[in-house]
Amino acid sequence: MTTIKDVAKKAGVSVATVSRFLNNSGYVSTEAAQAVTVAVEELKYELNPIARSLNTKKSNLIGLILPDITNPFFPELARAVEDVALTYGYTVVLCNSDEDPEKEKNYIETLKKKYIAGFIVTSNQLDAPHYANANVPIVALDRTINEKIPTVSSNNKEGAIMGTNALLERGCKHILFLRGPEKLNPANDRYEGFMEAIQRSNVRYQVVTCPFHFADSQKIVECILQENPLIDGIFASSDVSAAGALKAAGTAGKHVPDELQIVGFDGVAMGAMLSPGLTTVAQDVYKMGAVATRVLIKRIENKKIEQNFYEVPVKLVIRGTTRSVVE
């Protein structure tokens, strides 16, 4: 194998000069730079990437910290991050944190010892000291954060207004809103959007907090449909909770969409597989992941980023859980 010594010998310069040139870490004369370039090419010298890590204190690893890859929102995100990272020569380390601050801290400390180049993080802990003091580029995804960390998010509030209006335009008179966990920023933005749209109307509504979890949502909605049989529209803050609501409608004997209309939020592939197919406010998850990765790589490479907050548009996808618009 060709070593840096062979390159130095061939170029007629010192090993230190070759190292400075290859690592871009100090003055090298034009003549020496040319000689080294020629020697590297002739000898087909490849700088060992781990040796390069040691010298530049950077690897080309990106850490992706997310709550749980088995939540149907995250695989598409992970796919986008890996696709974009790959085109820039980076590889992605997968970290499931379960939103546990200790696990997150441990990932950051362990991976920093491997000179991780940066992190993409979906977490509620971004105010925690292990992020503030991480001293490594970070981009936040799907969570609003302290203003020091660039953030990529869907237009959640706007999306919730769209989803609410979809039910209003289709004649719903008693709407149930399944609010997501109160500690999650995107869930709160969706709640705000719902409140803004519903309060502009004269329609009755009810808000209940419901986890982004199928079986829990099914139980909650079954209870509520029994208590309040007038409900004719449900807007769920996630597709998984909308799937629970649809199942509950089935057990309650409510026909969807004739007696009860349902709108979800997320746009995951599962929504199309339900019967009827789920009308939903679809996030462009792939784009979110792709934008976050591009922003992170710019930060890693010390390039200027234009803004600190990127909002990716959502769109309404109409399927079978809603009727035609009332003229």
Q: Which residues bind a copy of itself (CB under 8 A)?
A: 46, 48-51, 53-54, 59, 61, 64, 68-70, 72, 74-76, 78-79, 82-83, 91-96, 110-111, 113-115, 214-215, 240, 243-244, 246-247, 250, 269-270, 272-275
Smaller CB distance to a copy of itself: residue 54 or 305?
54
CB of 320 to a copy of itself, least distance (A): 9
Cα–Cα distance, 11 to 115 (Å, whole number): 30
CB of 294 to a copy of itself, least distance (A): 18
Cα–Cα distance, 148 to 131 (Å, whole number): 10
Smaller CB distance to a copy of itself: residue 213 or 298?
213
Smaller CB distance to a copy of itself: residue 171 or 320?
320
Smaller CB distance to a copy of itself: residue 53 or 209?
53
Strands (E) located in 57-211: 61-66, 91-96, 118-121, 138-141, 151-154, 174-179, 204-209
CB of 108 to a copy of itself, least distance (A): 12
Q: Which residue from 181, 144, 159 is spatially nearest to 264, judged by alpha carbons?
A: 159
CB of 198 to a copy of itself, least distance (A): 27
My answer on whether omega of the bond before 49 falls inside 30° of 0, hence cis, is no
| 174 DSSP β-pair partners | 204
CB of 275 to a copy of itself, least distance (A): 5
Smaller CB distance to a copy of itself: residue 154 or 185?
154
Cα–Cα distance, 103 to 323 (Å, whole number): 45
CB of 313 to a copy of itself, least distance (A): 21
What is the maximum alpha-carbon separation in the chain?
87
CB of 35 to a copy of itself, least distance (A): 26
Q: What is the dihedral of CA 321, 274, 214, 239, to 10 degrees?
A: -60
Smaller CB distance to a copy of itself: residue 1 or 326?
1
Q: Which residue from 131, 115, 114 is spatially nearest to 139, judged by alpha carbons?
A: 131
Residues 6+ apart with CB under 8 A from 112: 134, 135, 136
CA 93 to chain centre: 15
Smaller CB distance to a copy of itself: residue 11 or 285?
285
Cα–Cα distance, 65 to 140 (Å, whole number): 10
